[in-house]
Amino acid sequence: MQGFSNNAPVKVQFVPVGRHRREWMWKARDEESNTISISGQRFESVTDAVRDARTTLGEDDDDDGPSAA
Q: Cβ(49)–Cβ(39) under 8 Å?
A: yes
Q: Cβ(43)–Cβ(18) under 8 Å?
A: no
Res. 1: pLDDT tops 50: no
Instruction: Give the DSSP letter of residue 23.
Output: E
Q: Cβ(27)–Cβ(39) under 8 Å?
A: yes
Q: What is the pTM of this model?
A: 0.68
Encode pLDDT of 12-42 as tens digits: 999 999 888 899 999 999 888 888 899 989 9
Which pLDDT belongs to residue 62? 52
Say which residues have a Cβ less than 8 Å from residue 19's Cβ, sequence separation at least 6: none
Length of the chain as a residue count: 69
Angstrom distance (rounded) from CA 50 to CA 14: 8
